[in-house]
Structure 1
Amino acid sequence: MIDPEAFHDAPIVRLSSEGDTVHIEVEEFALSSVEMCPPSRISIRHCREILRDGVPVSEMTAESEDGEIYGIDRDAGGVTLSIIWSRYEPHAEWSVTYRLVGARLDVTTLWSTGEPSVPEDID
């Protein structure tokens, strides 16, 4: 079981939405200052509503080519993601908080072939 409160430093490779599900593939992520986990897919399912900094949006989309998850929090009402987006020309960096209402979260480790392994539920 992965503790989402320990999850951080996860560079985003791909972000996609399908219906009420958001998939985020990350290069790797840290669970502590010494424990790094392999490339993985974060699936956030059963989203009833998505809020971007408190404002409803129709879907969650990548805001830049470079993004990093620096925090995940979950509670009975859903999942909250904190992401830093960066742009290099001209340089800009901004943080966004997404609230996925009613959602549940699981993480699937990706093998080197890019194929998923068995999902690990972190709810």
Structure 2
Amino acid sequence: MKFIKLLLITMTIFMMNSVYAIQYKFVAMDNSIYTKMCVLAGNNEQKALKTALRRHEHSPRSLANTTFCNGLIIANFAYKYQANMTYDYLKKYTHSRHVDKATKVSIQDVITRTTENKSTEEIILVYVGY
């Protein structure tokens, strides 16, 4: 009986954390390869990003240090939007002076994160490109 109660409490805690998930949707403003790489990085599509970097005429290291997405180096852009797989991949090619080392902590009250229509997921559009 105690096991079932513990299991229910654990499941409730995990569900509470996932209820208020923020989902980012990236919209390309142009058809350039750099914009496509930014969208792939933001969407956490590591395999497609690797393919795009390999097919480009410049090296992945060069692209990781010269590609800007909405004013940020592509690795920092991935980090900002919690695209951890692409961030980890790009970080190894990005020069240490470009990697954002500042720890960002924010504390929000869970009760204030409800939306007007009481939806469980908030979708934020991010426009990438020129």
Q: TM-score, normalised by structure 1?
A: 0.22
Q: Which has the larger radius of gyration?
A: 2
Q: Larger strand proportion, structure 1 or 2? A: 1
Q: Larger helix proportion, structure 1 or 2? A: 2
Q: TM-score, normalised by structure 2?
A: 0.21
